[in-house]
Amino acid sequence: MTPSTKLQGLVAATITPMTPDGQINLSVIRQYVDYLVSEQNVKNVFVNGTTGEGLSLNIQERKQLAEEWVCQGKDKLDHVIIHVGALSLPESQELARHAAAIGASGIAVIAPFFFKPTNKDELIAFLQKVASEAPAVPFYYYHIPPLTGVKIRVEGLLDGIKERIPTFQGVKFSDTDLLDLAQCINKNEREQFAFLYGVDEQLLSALAIGADGAVGSTYNYLGRKTNLMLQAFAKPDLALARRYQFLTGEFLNFVIKLGFGVAQTKAVMTFVSGIPMGPPRLPLVDASEEFIVKAKAKLDSIVWPDGD
Ligand SMILES: CC(=O)N[C@H](C=O)[C@@H](O)[C@H](O)[C@H](O)CO
Ligand SMILES: CC(=O)C(=O)O
């Protein structure tokens, strides 16, 4: 792994494979890593986040998953970022120390979401207490207000953050407020922070205002297509880049109308990759057969510009 290089390009938010009886299934992670690298051309992962049901796992499970991803990713993946956010500060700190000990290339933390920070100073104080437990590991703030309910704008959070959190390296930005994202990017030209966008259906818009890359659930199975969008954007061939975004958007728009979340992501990844992701953990419930049939038909019907 090469933790010193700036994180860019696509990062798959990993799914947590589970057995039919609901235990974490570490045995398929090796195959999962190979699939991401060879079939999707994705070499960075974000483990135990939203898609990974990180907040529904216990500490032991989170550590086992982190270890397995780091171990299986060795020599194959570029970055293995571990999400270590938790409602309990000591638990989050324990996970941060663990991630450092196993050699993770970065850690990320969401805002605590039961008792919530009410301003940026409270939020930074929490993040700082976690980050300082892993003083040699790049730290990312994971901004996802639709799920945490913590709507503190990132632009303001960045002011002086490097002084409070010396390992601060960037933001995983999972919000539709592109003005906030743009202000962050504009402000941080010199700092070399990485801004990774997390709303896959509008990644192209975020690239246009300067996002470095993306972390998302769809890069598990649409990584190759999204990489082609990134290439088209870099060229630049905007018409082609738009075409890819419209097509991935067409799929997402379709499944969102059917009801789309982590359970459905597990089902889609299972039929696309052939790797059994298993059921989600309650309160999430399995995708319906009807969803699976319709989602598969939709994905199969898409004619991609690369001829697939
Ligand atoms: C709320 C959520 O899970 N967001 C993911 C990452 O942040 C995205 O990757 C979405 O799954 C994706 O954009 C589809 O809506
Ligand atoms: C999408 C994402 O980054 C997550 O699942 O945490």
Beta bridge partners of 122: none
Strand partners, 107: 82, 139
pLDDT-based confidence at 307, cuts 50/70/90? confident
Q: Ligand 2 centroid to 165 CA: how many Å?
A: 22
216 CA → ligand 2 middle, Å: 5
For residue 157 the two structure tokens come to 């959070």
CB contact set of 113 (below 8 Å; sequence gap of 6+): 87, 147, 148, 149, 150
Residue 178 lies in a domain: yes
CA distances from 80 to 44, 73, 100 (A): 6, 7, 11
- Work out the mean pLDDT of the chain and round it to a whole number: 96
- Which ligand approaches the C-alpha of residue 54 most closely? 2
Judge whether 276 lies within some domain.
no
Within 10 angstroms of residue 160's Cβ, the number of other Cβ atoms is 10
Probe residue for ligand 1, chosen from 50, 173, 197 as the CB with the greatest number of ligand atoms within 8 Å = 50
- Identify whether 243 is part of a domain: no
- Domain extent for 121: 9-236
pTM for this one?
0.97
Give the count of domains, the chain.
1
Query: Mind listing the pLDDT tens digit for each residue in 177-227?
Result: 999 999 999 998 777 899 999 999 999 999 999 999 999 999 999 999 999
What is the pLDDT, as a whole number, of residue 2? Answer: 43
Tokens representing 2 are 């090469």
171 annotated as belonging to a binding site for a ligand: no
CATH label of the domain that carries residue 87: 3.20.20.70
User: Token pair 């960037």 is at which residue?
Assistant: 170
In a domain, 298, yes or no: no
**Residue 259 included in any domain:** no
Mean pLDDT of 80-103: 98
Q: ipTM of the predicted structure?
A: 0.94
